[in-house]
Amino acid sequence: MSIKLFSVEYDQVNERGTFSPGDVLSGSVTVVASKETKVQCLMVNAKGKAEVKWYDQNGRTTVLHQDEENYFDLEYIILQDKNKGDGSEIIRQGRSVYPFTFVIPNTDMPSSYDGKWGRIAFSLQAQLTQSIWSIHKTRIEFPFLTKSEFPFGSKSEMLIIGLQERQCATKISFYGSGKVTLNVTSEKMGLTQGETMEVSVEVINSSNRVVTPKFFLCEKQLFVAQSEAIMHTNEILFGKGESVSARSSRTISNVLSIPPQLNPTFLNCSMIKLEYTLKVTLGDPLARDPDIKLPLVILQASSQPCHQKTK
C-alpha cells in the first residue's frame, strides 16, 4: 500500500482540447509513494478503438453481439527493471512526475463518439507493476477529432456534390374522403453545427380537417457486429408551422437551427454510422402516409469544440 496516488494526464494542443491524426500527444504520470518503492514496470498506452455491444433475446436464450476495431495501440515504457522481474527500479518517496510523448498516427480515423450500443474512444492508460499480485492502473480519455472535412467513406463523392443543392419533395396524404398535398423545399442538404436553414412547406388542404405541419430532426445510429446490425433512432422536434384550415392552401416558412452540440454525420467507421434526415409531418394518426423525409448532413463546425462524453 505504499502507492498513495497514481494518475495520468495529457497536455492540450489547442483551444478545443481535441487531438487529430498526426498530432503530438504529451502528458505525464504522477506517482505519490509513502516510502521508497521497488517496481517492475511503469508504462503508458495510447489507444484508439471502436467497439459495439448489444444483446438479443431469442426465447430463453440471450445472444451477445460484440465486436471492436483498433485504430492504434502505442506503448511508452517509463521504467522497467533490467532483469525483467526482480523489481530493481526505484520510485522515491513522495511525489514523482514522469513525462511521456506519443505521435498519433496520421491516418483516417473517425472522431470520438458515444452511441446507444457502441462508442469510438481514444484513451491513455498508465500501469504500474510492483509484482504479479500488485498492479496499479489509471485511465483517461481524450477527445479526438477527425481531419476529414467529409467523413463519409465510400459515399463521399455523391454526398459532397449534393451538400449545397436545393432539395424538394412532394407527398399526398389522405384524410378520409379528402387529401392534403405537401410540397417541401429546403435550402440545402449540408449544414454545419449551429447553422440555420429555411424550410418552405406548401400545404394544399383539400380535406375537411385543420392540419399543422411539424418539423423533426431524425437521428439514425447504426451498429454492426459480425454481420449483424441493430439500429437506434431518435427524433428532435424542430418546431411547428402555422395551422392550415380545411379547404384552403398556405405556404409556410420556418427557420430551423441545428443544435451546436449535435454530433456530425459520419460514415467512415466500419461498425458505427451516424446519419440524419429532416422530417416534415402533419402529425395526425388518422392520416395515411403523412411524412416527408429529406436527407440532412451535419458537418463539423470549424469553431465548435468537441462535445463527446468522457469518463
Q: Where are the domains of the chain?
A: 3-141, 153-299
Q: Are 90 and 37 in contact (CB under 8 A)?
A: yes
pLDDT at position 86: 58
User: How many whole angstroms separate alpha carbon 256 and alpha carbon 258?
Assistant: 7
* Residue 230: CB atoms within 10 Å: 17
pLDDT at position 59: 85
User: How many whole angstroms separate alpha carbon 291 and alpha carbon 135?
Assistant: 57
CATH fold, domain 153-299, is: Immunoglobulin-like (2.60.40)
CATH fold, domain 3-141, is: Immunoglobulin-like (2.60.40)
Q: What is the mean pLDDT of residues 166-177?
A: 83
* pLDDT tens by residue, 103-138: 999 999 999 999 999 999 999 999 999 888 889 999
The CA–CA distances, whole Å, from 257 to 72, 182, 254, 261, 290 equal 36, 22, 10, 12, 23
What single string gives the DSSP state of each residue in 221-248?
EEEEETTEEEEEEEEEEEEE---B-TTE
Predicted TM-score of the model (pTM): 0.87
User: How many whole angstroms separate alpha carbon 89 and alpha carbon 31?
Assistant: 14
Assess whether the region 3-141 and the region 153-299 belong to the same CATH fold. Answer: yes
Q: What is the mean pLDDT of residues 193-206?
A: 93
Selected residue with higher pLDDT from 276 and 306: 276
Residue with cell 487529430: 20
